[in-house]
Amino acid sequence: MSFVIAKQPIYDRGGNVFGYEVYLRSKNSSEKYPSEVPFSKAAYIVTDILVEYGIDRVSEGKKVILNVSLESLLNKSLEILPKDRVVFDLNPSEVPIGDTIYKKILEKIKDFKSKGSMFILNQSLYTSKYKDLINLSNIVEFYMKDVKREKVTGVKKYSKEVLISRIETDKEYRKAKELYADYFEGNYFSPPVVVKNAEIVPFLKVTLLRLMSSLSNAKSLKQIAEIISSDVGMAVKFLQFVNSAYFLRRKKIEDIQHAVSYIGLENLKKFVLLVALNEYLKLEKPQLWKKSLIRAHIAEELTKRHSPHLSEKAFLVGLFSLLDEILGVDIPSFLKDLNIDEEVVKAFTGENSSFKKILEISAQLEEAVNRDPEELDKVVSEISIGTNIPEIELVIITKEAKERAEKLIRI
């Protein structure tokens, strides 16, 4: 299932945007929360999308307000987000929590605050039972229809700020200002706006299982890179993670192994944890994923014959060659956003004639092997004349590429 996120601005008393609250929405029904998703899991999915899409593109340089249930704070996937850019809006737990868990939640809040995070306390938690949460929060939120002057006065005694949300009319806005609220949110200012193209990239579940296993027994980071490279969806997701706001330094990515080495084992574990938590993904357009993987293996093997040092980049060219059909994106622009090496990008703009030619040949062989043996023989004969690569060698490369792809995808 695909999801998108919608964002709604929160304003301060001066009319400036303080930040954007983000909401999970179904791709097919952007006005509604996807009812099949438990609220406690929504934070993980939104985190996934923020990492993939880029927190700066969503927040426009402002804070991002993320709704979380209390127990969700203990999940390590939230550690991927840049703490100084995130305001956590605390909501009641969906399951009963005991004293031990509650103390861990308080410690996690303290830890996040020390790293720059802010916390909004939902009105349902503004009770004497949660005095510790009140003390640790920066802002207390009240809904317009529920807010009372005495509640706002009580919050101010704690030296906390007040957010009044769900403001629908000018009259309500004026009332909220008269109550000395510090922040304002509601459809009166702006309804939630869907962040376009911010959807989860699908990947193969078998790839995730192999990744989880490899983290404990892989002999080298190269092995992990090979697993990621075997799945175009996982490769895209991983590169988006590498280029997310979580990492301060941006560097051109030459290949997957370079990216794996760049972020290190600990961050790899965080990446795997993030995608593992998201159990709502499903494989879409499996034939296109298989075709892209066949092309990647063909491109890599062909390049090894004359420029072995460029073979891993050629693999990426083949791997990403059908992203326009799979994800509905402009390939050069999309790869630039992923910070992919320029030579790979130029294969799709036509500026790198060598990679462009390799891609054309790879696509021809992939299409032929997926039709019938006679078609493959005809295409191989034509390519052999133009490249001086023996026909039998081209046949072996192509058939082995198909076998490897089918084994991985299990179609």
User: Do 80 and 54 sit in the same domain of this protein?
Assistant: yes
**CA 171, CA 286: separation in Å to the nearest integer?**
53
- Which range marks the domain in which residue 7 is found? 3-195
Least confident of 177-181, 313-317, 391-395: 313-317
Per-residue model confidence (pLDDT) at position 215: 66
How high is the pLDDT of residue 274?
60
Residue where one domain finishes, among candidates 224, 257, 277: 277
Are 169 and 46 within one domain?
yes
Query: Phi and psi of 393, rounded to 5°?
Result: -70, -40
368's tokens: 């032929």
pLDDT at 203 over 70: no
Report pLDDT for 273: 59
Same domain, 318 and 232: no
266 and 316 co-located in one domain? no
411 pLDDT above the threshold of 50: no
SS3 letters across the chain: CCEEEEEEEEEECCCCEEEEEEEEEECCECCCCCCCCCHHHHHHHHHHHHHHHCHHHHHCCCEEEEEEEHHHHHCHHHHHCCHHHEEEEEECCCCCCCHHHHHHHHHHHHHHHHCCCEEEEEHHHCCHHHHHHHHHCCEEEEECCCCCHHHHHHHHHCCCEEEEECCCCHHHHHHHHHCCCCEECCCCCCCCEEECCCCCCCCCHHHHHHHHHHHHHCCCHHHHHHHHHCCHHHHHHHHHHHCCCCCCCCCCECCHHHHHHHHHHHHHHHHHHHHHHCCCCCCCCHHHHHHHHHHHHHHHHHHHCCCHHHHHHHHHHHHCCCHHHHCCCCHHHHHHHCCECHHHHHHHHCCCHHHHHHHHHHHHHHHHHCCCHHHHHHHHHHHHHHHCCCHHHHHHHHHHHHHHHHHHHCC
Mean pLDDT of 200-229: 70
Q: Which residue would you say has higher pLDDT here, 59 or 35? A: 59
Least confident of 20-24, 109-113, 271-275: 271-275
Residues 323 and 232 in one domain: no
Question: What confidence tens digit (pLDDT) does each residue in 363-398 have?
Answer: 999 999 988 888 899 999 999 998 889 999 999 999
Greater pLDDT, 283 or 303 = 303
pLDDT at residue 281 tops 50: no
Claim: this prediction has a pTM higher than 0.75: no
32 and 71 in a single domain? The answer is yes
Examine the fold and report which residue of 143, 169, 195 is the final residue of a domain before the chain moves on.
195
Mean pLDDT value across residues 132-154: 95
Residue with tokens 């996807």: 34
Domain finish residue from 154, 177, 195: 195
Comparison of pLDDT for 223 and 327, the residue scoring more: 223
Which amino acid is residue 266, in one-letter code? Answer: E
Number of domains in the chain: 3
Contact status, residue 185 vs residue 8, Cβ threshold 8 Å: yes
The pLDDT confidence band at residue 196, using thresholds 50, 70 and 90, is low
Higher pLDDT pick, 77 / 251 = 77
Asked whether residue 200 is domain-assigned, the answer is no
**124 and 225 within one domain:** no
Q: Based on the domain organization, do 215 and 182 belong to the same domain? A: no
Residue 39 — very low, low, confident or very high, per pLDDT cuts 50/70/90? confident
Same domain, 53 and 71: yes
- Tens of pLDDT, residue by residue over 20-29, are 999 888 776 6
Copy the structure tokens of residue 19.
Answer: 């930040």
